[in-house]
Amino acid sequence: MSVGTGTSTAHAIGGAMPAPRQGAAAMAHDSWVVAKRNLRRMTRIPEIVIFGLMQPVMFVLLFSYVMGGAIRIPGASSSSHTYIQFLMAGIFAQTVTFAVAGASAGIAEDMTKGLVDRFRSLPMARSAVLAGRTLADLCQTAFTLVVLALVALLVGWRIHDGVPKALGAFGLLLLLGYAFSWIGALIGLSVRSPEAATSAGLIWLFPLTFVSNAFVPVSSMPGWLQAVAYWNPFSATVQACRELFGNQVGPADSAWPMQHAVLVSVLWSVVITAVFSWLSVRKYRSAAG
């Protein structure tokens, strides 16, 4: 073991970078090692998890008790209980996408601390650093969803179409969150500080989440904006979750993406993951080169 360590150090000092490990098995192993490193960091700094939970819980409580009775869904009663059924899919989706800011800041912090240079001295798969980080973020997101679902049940939200479909809805949410974590990875690699990464990771999410069907029906928006909302990947996942949870309130939208929401949600998540994982790994390699 000491020989291997010395060899790696010698390579680093001499300026020669060891050849990365090849193959899917090696990449999966290295990614899991990096993921465990990030998960241990989260347990050692519980504030990361606690503050990550506070925002979505506050959204649930504020929308349920403050604005729930004032927002009317066409074709449904104006009670806060009805609105919470409509709302929760949007809150779940917002929670998994807002995790992008944390992913961006975490990667930017690793870059500023020279973690890239340390990983360069190891014979590991080059994409494992980012894949491990996004996997750790996925685990944290899954934990947040569990806690948020329990809070939602306490304020009156219910699943109406059985547990298997509900698990499918949570699967779609995690798939969307994983896809967006790669956007966060690219942002974190592209800025110079964790503070800039946090701002850059959040600013574009507000129009994405609010120009959607998450909090109000799309039919309440101006006509030109409705088309944007219907083809928003966020809207597709929200609508798919409402269908799988059995939380459809009022008449369903007739737009094609809303009529095929599960399919559109999966396609959007797969495309976003494919594009931004490629861009992120390419950016990481150029930063480490």
197 within 8 A of 187, measured Cβ to Cβ: yes
Question: 112-121, 241-250, 268-277 — which one is most confidently predicted on average?
Answer: 268-277
Task: Enter the tokens of residue 120.
Answer: 């360069």
Percent of the chain with pLDDT over 90: 37
Q: Which residue has the tokens 């800011």?
A: 101
Residues 257-278 pLDDT 10s: 999 999 999 999 999 999 999 9
Cα(188)–Cα(182) distance, rounded to whole angstroms?
10
Query: Considering the entire predicted model, what is its pTM?
Result: 0.84
For 249-253, what is the mean pLDDT?
78
- Within 10 Å of residue 64's Cβ, how many Cβ atoms? 22
Residues in the chain: 289
Question: 4-8, 66-70, 83-87, 173-177 — which one is most confidently predicted on average?
Answer: 173-177
Domain map (residue ranges) of the chain: 28-288
Residue 190 CA to chain centroid, in angstroms?
18
